[in-house]
Amino acid sequence: MEPIILKRADHNVSRQNMTSAAVKVLYRLKDEGYTAYVAGGGVRDLLLNRNPKDFDVATNATPEQIRKMFRNCRLVGRRFRLAHILFRGEVIETATFRAPVPDDGDETVHCENTLRVGESGMVMRDNIFGTPEEDAMRRDFTINALFYNIADFSIIDYAGGLKDLDDKIIRVIGEPDKRFAEDPVRMIRAARFAGTLGFEIEQEAYESICRNKDLLASAAPSRMYEEVQKLFFCGHAKEVFQWLEKTGLLHPMFHDFSHWIDEDKARHDWVIQTLEQMDRWRQAGLRVHPALLFSLIFGEYHEFLIKQLEEGGQTPHDASRNAIQNHLRPMCDNVRVPKQVIYQVCDIMTNQRRFERTQGRRPQRFIQTRGFLDAFLFFKFSSKAHNRNQELLEFWTEQRKSNPPKQTQRKKKRGPNNTNPDGEMPIE
């Protein structure tokens, strides 16, 4: 099929809005005689005048050829080798145009990096590379299948993505039922793009998600964890969450929790408030780490579970640990939340009781612990959300000012993208 080609004069995508690393990779490939395109989210976001998270490059050079061209290059993945070209603070993922995956039903297209072993035990590497058109058509949504060609600065559209960008539509490439069955994670990606970009999910795809949502149970847990983080850290977590609810995807993702929310509007309001807060932090450039994210989103639910266990006779400490672990552990079966994150969530919640203890040297000791900052952010957020603990909140805010934490080592480790080390994350 002939693609639609938009000449430089007819679009707004400029090299000036790309990182110098991306432009270097494109030109090097081009100068060596290869085709080199920016592909995927980078083109989509530039066309929408948004800031792309990263730039992925697609080319007809093979991974080996790419490796020889760049000293700062690592090949990753097994079945489908990708080149990671490393620059200071940036990785340009460079992939050879890919052919469609054979219709054998046992493989998800984007679950690359899995070895496919034939009957003879040989790794099958045939038919992996493809044409630009094939590469475009195996992507998930039309708006994610656009290319920017460094050779003439044009935009190449094989799948109808330009029109869908104009119409603000998330449209699956190919048959939605088939594409979601190949890789169920695409369903939550649809919700993420719809929420982040303020687009509608095209009707057929929408109905397909509603029908196929339970397939999420068969998605690879580690990929689910990655995507779940993207859902809530994208800066539009509230809108994304509303799409997850509307499509019913929330249920297979977090079953008990989603039932619990459905029972009471106040519970739902807590979650929405949390997500709004998350979005304000994100839009201010602050990064909330996963344990704080899960503590906040599930905070009210965890408090509910803890109370139940306490009423059943458990000590407050045991009740906190058991409630949180009982909830998060099974969640690991379909969203692989790392153990470390679960422990941190437990700490944040068990530490909440320490805010009631204001006597003697306890406050100073608490402030100096590693877990104080996250616990305090949770405490501050939940106090404001429920309009409670005003006096305690003032007490601890004062204490923090007069006893700044001596956590120099920890400060050094934290990069600019992490939680603000001063804990002065504004809570509204």
Q: Which residues are part of the catalytic machinery?
A: 54, 56, 140
CB of 53 to ligand ATP, least distance (A): 4
CB of 242 to Mg ion, least distance (A): 23
Q: Cβ closer to ligand ATP: 233 or 257?
A: 233
Q: Residue 181 touches which of Mg ion, ligand ATP, none (CB < 5 to 8 A by kind)? A: none
Answer for which of 82, 83, 94, 110 binds ligand ATP (CB under 6 A) is: 110
Angle in degrees, CA 90, 91, 95, rounded to 5: 155
Contacting range for ligand ATP; rule: CB under 6 A; set: 50-58, 115-123, 295-303, 419-427: 50-58
**Residue 139, amino acid:** R
Q: Cβ closer to ligand ATP: 140 or 300?
A: 140
The answer to the question of residue 139 lying near ligand ATP (CB under 6 A) is yes
- H helix or E strand, kind and range, residue 266: helix 265-283
Q: Residue 76 touches which of ligand ATP, Mg ion, none (CB < 5 to 8 A by kind)? A: none
Contacting ligand ATP within 247-276 (CB under 6 A): none
The answer to the question of residue 40 lying near ligand ATP (CB under 6 A) is yes
Residue with nearest beta carbon to ligand ATP? 41
Contacting range for ligand ATP; rule: CB under 6 A; set: 52-60, 250-258, 286-294, 420-428: 52-60
Answer for which of 171, 186, 321, 354 binds ligand ATP (CB under 6 A) is: 186
Residue with nearest beta carbon to Mg ion? 41
Q: Cβ closer to ligand ATP: 44 or 400?
A: 44
Answer for which of 7, 53, 125, 339 binds ligand ATP (CB under 6 A) is: 53
Answer for which of 144, 149, 208, 295 binds ligand ATP (CB under 6 A) is: 144
User: How would you classify residue 86: left for phi > 0, otherwise alpha for psi between -120 and 50, otherwise beta?
Assistant: beta
Answer for which of 22, 85, 92, 185 binds ligand ATP (CB under 6 A) is: 185
Answer for which of 41, 132, 176, 235 binds Mg ion (CB under 5 A) is: 41
Q: Which residues bind Mg ion (CB under 5 A)?
A: 41, 54
Q: Which residues bind ligand ATP (CB under 6 A)?
A: 40-41, 53-54, 56, 109-110, 139-140, 144-145, 183, 185-186, 230
